[in-house]
Amino acid sequence: MPITNALTTTIERVSILDEHGNFDEKLGKGLIPDADLLKLYETMVTCRMMDEVAFKLQRSGRMGTYPQNMGQEANSLGAAYALNNDDWLVTCYRENCGLMWRGVPIDSILLHWMGDERGNAMPRPHHATPIAVPIGTQMLHATGLAWAAKYRGEKRISCTFFGDGATSEGDFHEACNFAANLDIPVIFFCQNNFWAISVPGRIQCSAPTVAQRGIAYGMPCLQVDGNDLFAVVYGMRKAIEHARTTGKPYFIEGVTYRLGDHTTADDARRYRDQAEVDAWKARDPITRLRTYMTKKGIWSDAKDAALREAAEASCMATIERCEQVEPPVRGDVFNYTFADLPADLVTQRETGHTHSLGQDPSQLPSASNAR
Protein backbone atom coordinates (compact mmCIF):
# COMPACT_ATOMS: atom_id res chain seq x y z
CA MET A 1 0.00 0.00 0.00
CA PRO A 2 1.83 3.05 -1.21
CA ILE A 3 -0.28 5.61 0.64
CA THR A 4 -1.13 4.61 4.14
CA ASN A 5 -2.58 6.39 7.08
CA ALA A 6 0.07 7.50 9.53
CA LEU A 7 -2.20 9.31 11.95
CA THR A 8 -5.81 10.24 12.52
CA THR A 9 -6.65 12.54 15.32
CA THR A 10 -9.54 14.63 16.51
CA ILE A 11 -10.12 17.47 18.88
CA GLU A 12 -13.31 17.90 20.85
CA ARG A 13 -14.96 21.04 22.06
CA VAL A 14 -16.82 21.16 25.34
CA SER A 15 -19.60 23.55 26.22
CA ILE A 16 -21.96 22.94 29.14
CA LEU A 17 -23.63 26.21 30.05
CA ASP A 18 -23.94 28.17 26.86
CA GLU A 19 -24.55 31.87 26.32
CA HIS A 20 -28.28 31.29 25.86
CA GLY A 21 -28.61 29.67 29.26
CA ASN A 22 -28.79 26.09 27.98
CA PHE A 23 -27.25 23.71 30.46
CA ASP A 24 -26.15 20.21 29.58
CA GLU A 25 -27.33 18.07 32.45
CA LYS A 26 -25.42 15.00 31.35
CA LEU A 27 -22.02 16.61 31.63
CA GLY A 28 -22.88 19.36 34.03
CA LYS A 29 -24.87 17.70 36.72
CA GLY A 30 -23.00 17.51 40.00
CA LEU A 31 -19.92 19.02 38.42
CA ILE A 32 -19.97 21.95 40.82
CA PRO A 33 -22.00 21.78 44.04
CA ASP A 34 -24.21 24.81 44.61
CA ALA A 35 -22.30 25.92 47.67
CA ASP A 36 -19.10 26.04 45.67
CA LEU A 37 -20.85 27.73 42.80
CA LEU A 38 -21.86 30.60 45.00
CA LYS A 39 -18.31 31.07 46.21
CA LEU A 40 -16.95 30.82 42.70
CA TYR A 41 -19.41 33.41 41.48
CA GLU A 42 -18.46 35.67 44.36
CA THR A 43 -14.79 35.40 43.39
CA MET A 44 -15.57 36.29 39.78
CA VAL A 45 -17.55 39.34 40.80
CA THR A 46 -14.81 40.52 43.14
CA CYS A 47 -12.22 40.01 40.45
CA ARG A 48 -14.29 42.02 37.99
CA MET A 49 -14.72 44.75 40.56
CA MET A 50 -10.97 44.86 41.11
CA ASP A 51 -10.51 45.42 37.39
CA GLU A 52 -12.84 48.36 37.49
CA VAL A 53 -11.28 49.88 40.56
CA ALA A 54 -7.74 49.37 39.29
CA PHE A 55 -8.65 50.94 35.98
CA LYS A 56 -9.96 54.06 37.66
CA LEU A 57 -6.93 54.21 39.89
CA GLN A 58 -4.61 54.00 36.93
CA ARG A 59 -6.44 56.84 35.26
CA SER A 60 -5.97 58.98 38.31
CA GLY A 61 -2.27 58.17 38.44
CA ARG A 62 -2.35 55.94 41.49
CA MET A 63 -1.52 52.72 39.65
CA GLY A 64 0.91 51.74 36.88
CA THR A 65 0.01 50.00 33.67
CA TYR A 66 -2.64 47.42 34.56
CA PRO A 67 -4.02 44.55 32.47
CA GLN A 68 -7.69 43.95 33.09
CA ASN A 69 -8.96 40.38 33.24
CA MET A 70 -12.52 41.30 32.31
CA GLY A 71 -14.33 38.54 30.42
CA GLN A 72 -11.74 35.86 31.01
CA GLU A 73 -12.37 35.09 34.66
CA ALA A 74 -13.82 31.62 34.21
CA ASN A 75 -10.64 30.10 32.81
CA SER A 76 -8.23 30.53 35.65
CA LEU A 77 -10.99 30.23 38.22
CA GLY A 78 -12.19 26.91 36.87
CA ALA A 79 -8.62 25.68 36.81
CA ALA A 80 -7.80 26.78 40.35
CA TYR A 81 -11.03 25.21 41.54
CA ALA A 82 -10.31 21.88 39.92
CA LEU A 83 -6.66 21.73 40.95
CA ASN A 84 -5.36 20.88 44.38
CA ASN A 85 -4.11 23.85 46.29
CA ASP A 86 -0.58 22.54 46.20
CA ASP A 87 -0.46 22.02 42.48
CA TRP A 88 1.66 24.69 40.85
CA LEU A 89 -0.29 27.51 39.26
CA VAL A 90 2.04 29.22 36.79
CA THR A 91 0.25 32.19 35.37
CA CYS A 92 0.74 35.13 33.09
CA TYR A 93 -1.28 38.25 34.00
CA ARG A 94 -4.91 37.47 33.20
CA GLU A 95 -5.39 34.91 35.91
CA ASN A 96 -6.23 37.11 38.86
CA CYS A 97 -9.44 35.21 39.45
CA GLY A 98 -7.71 31.87 39.81
CA LEU A 99 -5.07 33.36 42.05
CA MET A 100 -7.76 34.88 44.23
CA TRP A 101 -9.44 31.49 44.54
CA ARG A 102 -6.11 29.98 45.46
CA GLY A 103 -5.86 32.53 48.25
CA VAL A 104 -3.02 34.60 46.88
CA PRO A 105 -3.59 38.02 48.43
CA ILE A 106 -4.86 40.35 45.77
CA ASP A 107 -2.57 42.88 47.44
CA SER A 108 0.33 41.00 45.89
CA ILE A 109 -1.03 41.39 42.41
CA LEU A 110 -1.84 45.06 42.85
CA LEU A 111 1.51 45.83 44.44
CA HIS A 112 3.22 44.29 41.44
CA TRP A 113 1.44 46.61 39.05
CA MET A 114 2.15 49.48 41.39
CA GLY A 115 5.81 48.96 40.54
CA ASP A 116 6.78 47.09 43.68
CA GLU A 117 8.69 43.81 43.65
CA ARG A 118 7.15 42.84 46.96
CA GLY A 119 4.04 42.04 44.99
CA ASN A 120 5.90 39.09 43.51
CA ALA A 121 6.95 37.67 46.86
CA MET A 122 4.21 35.07 46.56
CA PRO A 123 3.73 33.29 49.85
CA ARG A 124 5.13 29.82 49.34
CA PRO A 125 2.13 27.74 50.42
CA HIS A 126 0.06 29.06 47.54
CA HIS A 127 2.26 27.34 45.01
CA ALA A 128 1.77 30.24 42.67
CA THR A 129 4.60 31.83 40.74
CA PRO A 130 5.19 35.55 40.18
CA ILE A 131 3.42 37.40 37.42
CA ALA A 132 5.20 36.77 34.12
CA VAL A 133 5.95 39.80 32.01
CA PRO A 134 8.04 38.39 29.16
CA ILE A 135 5.44 36.60 27.10
CA GLY A 136 5.69 32.87 26.68
CA THR A 137 8.54 32.31 29.11
CA GLN A 138 6.78 31.01 32.20
CA MET A 139 5.57 27.73 30.74
CA LEU A 140 9.11 26.39 30.87
CA HIS A 141 9.17 27.12 34.58
CA ALA A 142 5.91 25.23 34.96
CA THR A 143 7.54 22.26 33.27
CA GLY A 144 10.54 22.50 35.56
CA LEU A 145 8.38 22.78 38.66
CA ALA A 146 6.36 19.71 37.75
CA TRP A 147 9.54 17.89 36.84
CA ALA A 148 10.91 18.58 40.32
CA ALA A 149 7.71 17.17 41.81
CA LYS A 150 8.01 14.06 39.69
CA TYR A 151 11.66 13.70 40.67
CA ARG A 152 10.73 13.82 44.31
CA GLY A 153 7.82 11.43 43.89
CA GLU A 154 5.24 14.06 44.81
CA LYS A 155 1.82 13.92 43.23
CA ARG A 156 1.89 17.63 42.49
CA ILE A 157 1.35 18.76 38.90
CA SER A 158 1.66 22.14 37.18
CA CYS A 159 -0.99 24.11 35.39
CA THR A 160 0.30 26.99 33.34
CA PHE A 161 -1.63 29.78 31.65
CA PHE A 162 -0.73 31.83 28.59
CA GLY A 163 -2.40 33.73 25.78
CA ASP A 164 -2.88 32.98 22.12
CA GLY A 165 -0.02 35.36 21.38
CA ALA A 166 2.27 33.44 23.69
CA THR A 167 1.82 30.31 21.60
CA SER A 168 3.89 32.01 18.89
CA GLU A 169 7.00 32.13 21.06
CA GLY A 170 9.66 29.45 20.75
CA ASP A 171 9.63 28.94 24.50
CA PHE A 172 6.02 27.79 24.33
CA HIS A 173 7.05 25.07 21.93
CA GLU A 174 10.01 24.01 24.03
CA ALA A 175 7.93 23.84 27.19
CA CYS A 176 5.34 21.59 25.57
CA ASN A 177 8.01 19.49 23.95
CA PHE A 178 9.98 18.94 27.15
CA ALA A 179 6.85 17.98 29.04
CA ALA A 180 5.66 15.60 26.32
CA ASN A 181 8.95 13.82 25.75
CA LEU A 182 10.26 13.71 29.28
CA ASP A 183 6.86 12.70 30.68
CA ILE A 184 6.19 15.67 32.91
CA PRO A 185 2.66 16.31 34.17
CA VAL A 186 1.86 19.84 33.06
CA ILE A 187 -1.48 21.21 31.98
CA PHE A 188 -0.95 23.81 29.28
CA PHE A 189 -3.91 26.16 29.34
CA CYS A 190 -4.15 28.67 26.53
CA GLN A 191 -6.56 31.53 27.07
CA ASN A 192 -7.37 32.21 23.46
CA ASN A 193 -8.87 35.69 23.60
CA PHE A 194 -8.31 36.31 19.88
CA TRP A 195 -6.02 39.28 20.38
CA ALA A 196 -2.42 39.91 21.35
CA ILE A 197 -2.59 43.62 21.92
CA SER A 198 -3.67 44.75 18.43
CA VAL A 199 -2.65 41.63 16.55
CA PRO A 200 -5.54 39.32 15.71
CA GLY A 201 -5.45 35.64 16.58
CA ARG A 202 -5.05 34.43 13.01
CA ILE A 203 -1.58 36.01 12.91
CA GLN A 204 -0.62 33.86 15.90
CA CYS A 205 -2.39 30.73 14.76
CA SER A 206 -4.30 30.50 11.52
CA ALA A 207 -5.21 26.86 12.17
CA PRO A 208 -8.85 26.14 13.00
CA THR A 209 -8.07 25.71 16.70
CA VAL A 210 -5.28 26.64 19.04
CA ALA A 211 -5.86 23.31 20.75
CA GLN A 212 -4.33 21.46 17.83
CA ARG A 213 -0.96 22.90 18.75
CA GLY A 214 -0.91 20.09 21.28
CA ILE A 215 -1.08 17.46 18.53
CA ALA A 216 2.47 18.39 17.58
CA TYR A 217 3.58 16.82 20.85
CA GLY A 218 1.22 13.91 20.85
CA MET A 219 -0.61 15.46 23.80
CA PRO A 220 -4.31 15.02 24.29
CA CYS A 221 -5.91 18.36 23.50
CA LEU A 222 -9.29 19.81 24.24
CA GLN A 223 -11.10 22.99 23.38
CA VAL A 224 -13.50 24.37 25.95
CA ASP A 225 -15.82 27.33 26.02
CA GLY A 226 -13.64 29.48 28.21
CA ASN A 227 -16.54 31.70 29.17
CA ASP A 228 -18.35 28.71 30.62
CA LEU A 229 -17.11 27.89 34.09
CA PHE A 230 -18.65 24.42 33.86
CA ALA A 231 -16.87 23.57 30.65
CA VAL A 232 -13.58 24.78 32.08
CA VAL A 233 -14.00 22.70 35.22
CA TYR A 234 -15.01 19.69 33.13
CA GLY A 235 -11.98 20.06 30.87
CA MET A 236 -9.64 20.63 33.79
CA ARG A 237 -10.88 17.51 35.57
CA LYS A 238 -10.11 15.48 32.46
CA ALA A 239 -6.71 17.09 32.17
CA ILE A 240 -5.87 16.63 35.84
CA GLU A 241 -6.93 13.00 35.76
CA HIS A 242 -4.72 12.45 32.73
CA ALA A 243 -1.75 14.29 34.20
CA ARG A 244 -1.95 12.56 37.56
CA THR A 245 -2.47 9.06 36.28
CA THR A 246 -0.11 9.06 33.31
CA GLY A 247 2.37 11.68 34.49
CA LYS A 248 2.07 13.31 31.10
CA PRO A 249 0.95 16.71 29.83
CA TYR A 250 -2.40 17.86 28.50
CA PHE A 251 -3.37 20.83 26.36
CA ILE A 252 -6.50 22.94 26.88
CA GLU A 253 -7.65 25.85 24.81
CA GLY A 254 -10.17 28.07 26.57
CA VAL A 255 -12.00 30.11 23.97
CA THR A 256 -12.61 33.49 25.51
CA TYR A 257 -12.35 37.22 24.92
CA ARG A 258 -10.89 40.17 26.72
CA LEU A 259 -13.65 42.68 27.09
CA GLY A 260 -11.31 45.52 28.06
CA ASP A 261 -8.24 47.09 26.55
CA HIS A 262 -5.03 45.10 26.47
CA THR A 263 -3.78 47.16 29.40
CA THR A 264 -4.50 50.63 30.62
CA ALA A 265 -1.79 51.78 28.18
CA ASP A 266 -3.85 50.52 25.26
CA ASP A 267 -6.90 51.75 23.40
CA ALA A 268 -8.55 48.77 21.77
CA ARG A 269 -10.89 50.95 19.75
CA ARG A 270 -7.96 51.62 17.47
CA TYR A 271 -7.96 48.11 16.14
CA ARG A 272 -11.19 46.24 16.82
CA ASP A 273 -14.86 46.74 16.14
CA GLN A 274 -17.32 47.54 18.85
CA ALA A 275 -19.68 44.99 17.28
CA GLU A 276 -17.19 42.24 18.03
CA VAL A 277 -16.86 43.41 21.60
CA ASP A 278 -20.62 43.59 22.00
CA ALA A 279 -21.06 40.08 20.70
CA TRP A 280 -18.66 38.85 23.32
CA LYS A 281 -20.26 40.92 26.05
CA ALA A 282 -23.32 38.79 25.45
CA ARG A 283 -21.19 35.77 26.30
CA ASP A 284 -19.86 37.21 29.53
CA PRO A 285 -19.01 34.38 31.92
CA ILE A 286 -20.37 36.26 34.92
CA THR A 287 -23.75 37.15 33.43
CA ARG A 288 -24.10 33.61 32.25
CA LEU A 289 -23.56 32.17 35.66
CA ARG A 290 -25.80 34.71 37.31
CA THR A 291 -28.69 33.87 34.99
CA TYR A 292 -28.15 30.19 35.63
CA MET A 293 -28.06 30.57 39.39
CA THR A 294 -31.09 32.84 39.35
CA LYS A 295 -33.04 30.37 37.25
CA LYS A 296 -31.98 27.68 39.65
CA GLY A 297 -33.34 29.74 42.51
CA ILE A 298 -30.11 30.03 44.42
CA TRP A 299 -29.44 33.63 43.51
CA SER A 300 -31.39 36.89 43.34
CA ASP A 301 -30.95 40.47 42.22
CA ALA A 302 -30.89 41.58 45.80
CA LYS A 303 -28.12 39.16 46.66
CA ASP A 304 -26.25 40.32 43.61
CA ALA A 305 -26.51 43.96 44.56
CA ALA A 306 -25.32 43.15 48.05
CA LEU A 307 -22.43 41.13 46.71
CA ARG A 308 -21.34 43.90 44.40
CA GLU A 309 -21.45 46.40 47.19
CA ALA A 310 -19.39 44.17 49.44
CA ALA A 311 -16.96 43.47 46.62
CA GLU A 312 -16.48 47.14 45.93
CA ALA A 313 -15.85 47.83 49.57
CA SER A 314 -13.36 45.00 49.83
CA CYS A 315 -11.57 46.15 46.69
CA MET A 316 -11.32 49.68 47.99
CA ALA A 317 -9.98 48.37 51.26
CA THR A 318 -7.37 46.34 49.40
CA ILE A 319 -6.31 49.33 47.38
CA GLU A 320 -5.99 51.44 50.47
CA ARG A 321 -3.92 48.76 52.15
CA CYS A 322 -1.66 48.66 49.12
CA GLU A 323 -1.28 52.38 49.01
CA GLN A 324 -0.38 52.43 52.66
CA VAL A 325 2.40 49.92 52.27
CA GLU A 326 5.64 51.61 53.30
CA PRO A 327 7.57 52.67 50.23
CA PRO A 328 10.48 50.40 49.44
CA VAL A 329 13.87 51.65 50.52
CA ARG A 330 16.78 52.44 48.25
CA GLY A 331 18.74 49.56 49.72
CA ASP A 332 16.23 47.19 48.18
CA VAL A 333 17.60 48.03 44.77
CA PHE A 334 20.61 46.01 45.92
CA ASN A 335 19.61 43.66 48.66
CA TYR A 336 18.18 40.83 46.61
CA THR A 337 20.68 40.69 43.78
CA PHE A 338 22.45 37.76 45.42
CA ALA A 339 22.07 35.89 48.68
CA ASP A 340 25.40 37.43 49.69
CA LEU A 341 26.20 40.79 48.20
CA PRO A 342 29.66 41.08 46.65
CA ALA A 343 31.73 43.81 48.30
CA ASP A 344 31.37 46.00 45.26
CA LEU A 345 27.59 45.97 45.49
CA VAL A 346 27.74 46.74 49.18
CA THR A 347 29.80 49.81 48.34
CA GLN A 348 27.37 50.87 45.66
CA ARG A 349 24.53 50.48 48.11
CA GLU A 350 26.26 52.29 50.95
CA THR A 351 27.44 55.21 48.85
CA GLY A 352 24.61 55.44 46.38
CA HIS A 353 27.25 56.07 43.73
CA THR A 354 28.99 54.20 40.97
CA HIS A 355 31.88 56.57 40.36
CA SER A 356 35.01 55.45 42.13
CA LEU A 357 35.86 58.77 43.70
CA GLY A 358 32.38 58.75 45.19
CA GLN A 359 32.87 55.37 46.79
CA ASP A 360 34.20 56.29 50.18
CA PRO A 361 31.71 54.57 52.49
CA SER A 362 32.51 56.97 55.30
CA GLN A 363 30.73 59.62 53.25
CA LEU A 364 27.37 57.90 53.27
CA PRO A 365 24.79 60.14 51.62
CA SER A 366 21.94 58.59 53.52
CA ALA A 367 23.24 55.76 55.63
CA SER A 368 19.99 55.39 57.49
CA ASN A 369 17.99 54.73 54.36
CA ALA A 370 20.34 52.17 52.90
CA ARG A 371 18.85 49.03 54.41
Partner 1 sequence: MANLTLVQAINLALIQEMEKDDRVILLGEDVGNNGGVFRVTEGLQKRFGANRVVDTPLAESGIIGTSIGLAMAGLRPVPEIQFEGFLGPAYDQLCSHAARMRTRTRGAFTVPMTVRVPVGGGIHAPELHSDSPEAFYTHQPGLKVVMPSGPYDAKGLLISALRDPDPVIFFEPKRIYRAIREEVPEDEYTIPIGKARVVCEGTDLTVVSWGASVIQCMQAIEACGRSVELIDLRTIYPMDMETVEASVSKTGRCVIVHEAPRTCGVGSEVATQIMEKCFLHLEAPVQRVTGFDTIMPYYKLELEYLPDAARIQRGIEDCLAY
Interface residues with a copy of itself (CB under 8 A)?
Answer: 2-16, 24, 26-28, 168-174, 177, 180-182, 202-209, 211-218, 223, 231
Nearest residue to 75 (alpha-carbon basis) of 239, 254, 216 = 254
The DSSP output letter for 102 is: H
Question: Using CB under 6 A, which of 165, 214, 220, 352 touches ligand TPP?
Answer: 165
Give least dist CB 46 to ligand TPP, A: 20
Q: Quick check: 63 binds ligand TPP (CB under 6 A)?
A: no
Q: Quick check: 203 binds ligand TPP (CB under 6 A)?
A: no
Nearer of residues 97 and 233 to a copy of itself, judged by Cβ:
233
The 10 Å CB-count burial string (b at 16+, else e) for 274-311 is: eeebeebeebbbbebbbebbeeeeebeeebbeebeeeb
CA distances from 133 to 4, 45, 120, 165 (A): 45, 25, 12, 13
Nearer of residues 2 and 153 to a copy of itself, judged by Cβ:
2
CA distances from 353 to 304, 330, 350, 360, 363 (A): 56, 12, 8, 9, 11
Q: Quick check: 260 binds partner 1 (CB under 8 A)?
A: no
Give least dist CB 157 to partner 1, A: 12
Give least dist CB 155 to ligand TPP, A: 30
Nearer of residues 108 and 192 to Mg ion, judged by Cβ:
192
Question: What is the SS3 assignment for 224?
Answer: strand
Nearer of residues 257 and 299 to Mg ion, judged by Cβ:
257
94 binds, among partner 1, ligand TPP, Mg ion, none (CB under 5 to 8 A by kind): ligand TPP
Do residues 78 and 96 lie in contact, with contact meaning Cβ atoms separated by under 8 Å?
Answer: no
> Which residues ranging from 177 to 206 are in contact with partner 1 (CB under 8 A)?
177-178, 181-182, 196-199, 203-204
**Exposed/middle/buried for 258, CB within 10 Å: 0-12, 13-18, 19+?**
buried
Q: Quick check: 364 binds ligand TPP (CB under 6 A)?
A: no
**Crossing angle between the packed helical segments 301-324 and 106-113, to the nearest 10 degrees:** 50
> Which residues ranging from 345 to 364 are in contact with partner 1 (CB under 8 A)?
345, 348-349, 352-358
> Which residues ranging from 46 to 85 are in contact with partner 1 (CB under 8 A)?
64-65
Helix (H) or strand (E) holding 343, with range, is: helix 343-351
Q: Quick check: 135 binds ligand TPP (CB under 6 A)?
A: yes
